[in-house]
Amino acid sequence: MKEFKDNWNEIYKRLEELRQRIKNKDKEKTYGLHKKKEMPFFRTLKKNLFDEKELSEDDISKLVNLTQLIKNTISRELTAPNFWNNPIAISRMKGEIQEVLISKEFSSLPDIFNKRNEIISRIVEISESNNDIILYSD
């Protein structure tokens, strides 16, 4: 906003883009996943592995399964007291997520092995910022 402080047309354009993104997010398919607890992970996996490519039913099925396994791992780990202040617990969670990502079940996903570190980093960021949602949201 500060960047466009005197350009009302640009401010309007940017706010309208934001409004449309928010509006479209409500129309997003969730494939049976929890909108707040699981969809942030699904979107991250989809973006990192498929970018904007159209997904097949098999791709969707694998991503849904992968998302649920990752979210379950994270949910279990986050219940530990003072989790985010425990580097050993965080490292263990990263290792468990990596095991899921590189398992035979998901090896056919595009470039998953090479992108695993980037995916894990993003998943941990999402987990930390959504800690309470993951643990307590209905």
Give the count of domains, the chain: 2
pLDDT digit string, tens, across residues 105-124: 999 999 999 999 999 999 99
Residue 95 C-alpha from the chain's centroid: 17
- Give residue for tokens 């379950």: 72
Q: Do 57 and 120 belong together in one domain?
A: yes
Q: Do 48 and 99 belong together in one domain?
A: yes
Q: Do 104 and 128 belong together in one domain?
A: yes
pLDDT digit string, tens, across residues 63-115: 999 999 999 999 999 999 999 999 999 999 999 999 999 999 999 999 999 99
Q: Which amino acid is at 21?
A: R
Q: Do 20 and 37 belong together in one domain?
A: no
Mean of the per-residue pLDDT values of the chain: 92
Q: What angle do CA 122, 124, 129 make, to 5 degrees?
A: 95
Nearest Cα residue to 127 out of 83, 81, 88: 83
How distant, in Å, are the alpha carbons of 9, 28, 92 from that of 47?
31, 14, 25
Q: Do 101 and 60 belong together in one domain?
A: yes
Q: Domain of residue 69: give its range.
A: 32-136
92's CB contacts (< 8 A; 6+ apart) are 77
